[in-house]
Amino acid sequence: MEVWEVLGKRAPGDEWAVVGAVKAPDASMALLLARETHFRHKEGVAYAVRRRGDAEDAMVTGAWPPETLGGVTDRSYRRQEAYAGVGAKLKRVAADLAARGLRIDRPRPPDLREGGGAP
């Protein structure tokens, strides 16, 4: 499958800049996938693709307007925040348990990699 460079503009006045690449069989599929892989989170206001090796001006621009590029609905539910501050969370839980005379420590699993040191 051919490689297509993905180009984008962060703001309306910007020059086109290469932001990545996708594999796709043709320009229409490349545009569909470029939009999804590189402009899903409001990374820019315009996007385009160019077959790797083609002339600078052989760009095919995407049709989606800046207002809808990157989506319009609230996606905060997708953010995985449970691992944020996990060290502090662990300390807090460990302190709670220690106050009750419990420990959440357990032996580390053995290091089975070649040359791995003894636990």
Which residues contribute to the site for another protein (CB under 8 A)? 22-24, 28-29, 32-33, 35-37, 40, 64, 67-68, 71-75, 77-78, 82
For 88, the 3-state DSSP assignment is: helix
Amino acid of residue 22: V
Least distance to another protein, CB of residue 12, Å: 19
Least distance to another protein, CB of residue 33, Å: 4
Which 8-state DSSP code applies to residue 99? Answer: H
**Residue closer to another protein, measured from CB, 57 or 67:** 67
- CA angle, 76 as apex, 78 and 11 as ends, to 5°? 105
